[in-house]
Amino acid sequence: MLKLLFVLPPLLFLALLTQEPAAPAASTAPAAQTAPAEPAAPADQAAPASAAVPQNNPVKPTAESQAHAKNTYSIDCAMCHGENGNGKGDLVGDMKLSLKDLRDPDTLKDMSDGELYTLIHDGKGKMPAEGDRAKPDDVWNLVILVRSFAKK
């Protein structure tokens, strides 16, 4: 039994060493053929709108999709932008923010739906991005909801 204590650990160690490394998940192009990385946008600027993002909202709202957008807004946005979009959420004072009133029709009149989508998806400054947490249709429905604040 005592021999096993001395022999087994080195055998296990050798067994693990002789295994072949795992194959890479996907083949990568040689370094000379890859495109250089684009520089990251400064933290206080939103990333430029992707060419893949349409300028007009492709989503038609439904009662269910707007209910989901309201829920998402109340969790992720209202703490700063306010429950009704007035820009006076609970964190505005603490974070020393000055947010625009989304209820004012002039606030977003010069922004396309695509620009709003990019702003919500990518974030800007202290505003965190929805990014991969939300499906594209969910972000488009948030655009519809935010625009609806000015129509009330």
List, for residues 87-112, the tens digit of each pLDDT value: 999 999 899 999 999 999 999 999 99
Question: Residue 82 falls within a domain, yes or no?
Answer: yes
Predicted pLDDT at 152? 63
CB 142 within 8 A of CB 112: no
Question: Residue 50 falls within a domain, yes or no?
Answer: no
Report the number of distinct structural domains present in the chain: 1
Question: Residue 23 falls within a domain, yes or no?
Answer: no
Question: Residue 120 falls within a domain, yes or no?
Answer: yes
Q: What is the dihedral of CA 128, 135, 24, 33, to 10 degrees?
A: -80
Is residue 79's pLDDT more than 90? yes
Predicted pLDDT at 54? 86
Domain that holds residue 92: 63-149
Question: Residue 14 falls within a domain, yes or no?
Answer: no
- The CATH number given to whatever domain includes residue 113 is 1.10.760.10
Q: Is the pTM of this model over 0.75?
A: no
Predicted pLDDT at 39? 42
The CB density around residue 119, as the number of other CB atoms within 10 Å, is 21
Predicted pLDDT at 46? 41
Question: Residue 94 falls within a domain, yes or no?
Answer: yes
Nearest residue to 150 via CA among 109, 103, 82: 103
Question: Residue 121 falls within a domain, yes or no?
Answer: yes
The dihedral sign for the CA sequence 73, 79, 83, 87 = negative
